[in-house]
Amino acid sequence: MARAAHLTKRFVGSLRPARLSSDDAVWAAEQLLPAERELWAQMSPADRRHALGVARDVERRLGVEATRAVLAAALLHDVGKIDAGLGTYGRVMATRPPPLPHAYLDLVEAPNTAVLTTLLADGSPQASPVWFWFDGEEIQVSTTAQRLKHRNVQRDPRVSLTIIDPTKPLRYLEIRGTVTVTADPDGIVRDLVAVKHGYADGTAFDPPGSKRVTFHLTPTRVIEH
C-alpha cells in the first residue's frame, strides 16, 4: 500500500508544474560540475524535482560525509531515464512492481551485503555477493561491464537478490525480478554505494579501464522470511 500511495503521489505531482524553487535550483547547481549540469538540464522537470528530494535526503542521512560528488551522484541517479522515451503515465506504469514490505526496509537501507543470482548460458545459476543502493524506490547494483553477471543479464535479465539480516541469519528478503542496465561512466551509483559502506568514494574498486554500469532491479515477486 505504501508503494502504491507513493506512485500515486508521484504521478499526481508530476502533473503539477515541476519548477524548482530558486533556492533549490541554486543549491543543485552548486553540487554539479559543468558537464553534470548539462545532464541535469536534460532530465524532465518531474525527475529533477524527485532527484532533488533524494539528494536532500542523502545530505540529511550522511551529514558531513555528503560530499559534493556524493550529492551530485544523488541528483543524477535517474539520468539513465533520459533515453527511456516514456511519458509520465508510461513511466509510472512501468514502475509498478510489488512493494517491498515495510517491515524489511531496514535490510535494504542498511549497509548490508546481498547475494545476486543471475543465469549462465546453460540456465544454471551464478551467485555473487554485491553491495547495492536503494533510493527509496528501486534497488540499484553497480558493477563493471567486464563482470560475468553483466554478460549474464544482457542475455537473460532474470535475477534474484537475497538480503540476509546479519543479526538474525534466518530473517531475509528475497527479491525476484528483472534488471535493466544503464551505463554509469562517472561511477555515480558506485560512489553512492561506497559511501553507504563507509568509503569516501568507490574509485579504489575500479582497476584501470573499467566501465561502470548500473543494474536497475524491477521486482516481480518479493519473498519475506
pLDDT in the model for residue 92: 52
Picking from 75, 93, 111, the residue at the C-terminal end of a domain is 93
pLDDT in the model for residue 54: 84
Do 147 and 203 fall within a single domain? yes
Look up the CATH number of the domain holding residue 107.
2.30.110.10
Q: How many distinct structural domains can be found in the chain?
A: 2
Residue pLDDT, tens place only, 22-36: 888 999 999 999 989
pLDDT in the model for residue 60: 81
Do 217 and 115 fall within a single domain? yes
pLDDT tier at 43, thresholds 50, 70, 90: confident
Q: Bigger pLDDT: 68 or 132?
A: 132
Do 139 and 62 fall within a single domain? no
- Mean pLDDT, to the nearest integer, of 134-142? 91
Do 80 and 113 fall within a single domain? no
Do 85 and 21 fall within a single domain? yes
Do 158 and 187 fall within a single domain? yes
- The share of the chain scoring above pLDDT 70, in percent, equals 83
Do 143 and 179 fall within a single domain? yes
Do 28 and 15 fall within a single domain? yes
Domain of 41, in residue numbers: 2-93
Tracing cell 541469519 back to the chain, one arrives at 169
| SS3 label, residue 132 | coil
Do 84 and 102 fall within a single domain? no
- Indicate if the alpha-carbon torsion angle 74, 136, 43, 59 is positive or negative: negative
Q: Which residues pair with 144 in a beta bridge?
A: 212
Do 209 and 105 fall within a single domain? yes
Picking from 63, 93, 123, the residue at the C-terminal end of a domain is 93
What cell numbers appear for 129 in the block? 555477493
* Helix segments in the chain, DSSP class H: 2-15, 22-31, 34-42, 45-62, 68-75, 88-94, 105-109, 148-155, 188-196
Do 205 and 104 fall within a single domain? yes
pLDDT at 16 over 80: no
With residue 180 as reference, give the H or E element that holds it: strand 172-183
Residues 12-27 as b or e (16 or more Cβ within 10 Å = b)? eebeeeeeeeeebeeb
Calpha distance 193→216 (Å, rounded): 14
pLDDT tier at 10, thresholds 50, 70, 90: very low
Do 127 and 217 fall within a single domain? yes
pLDDT at 97 over 70: no
Q: Bigger pLDDT: 89 or 158?
A: 158
pLDDT tier at 4, thresholds 50, 70, 90: very low
Picking from 61, 93, 125, the residue at the C-terminal end of a domain is 93
Residue pLDDT, tens place only, 203-214: 999 989 999 999
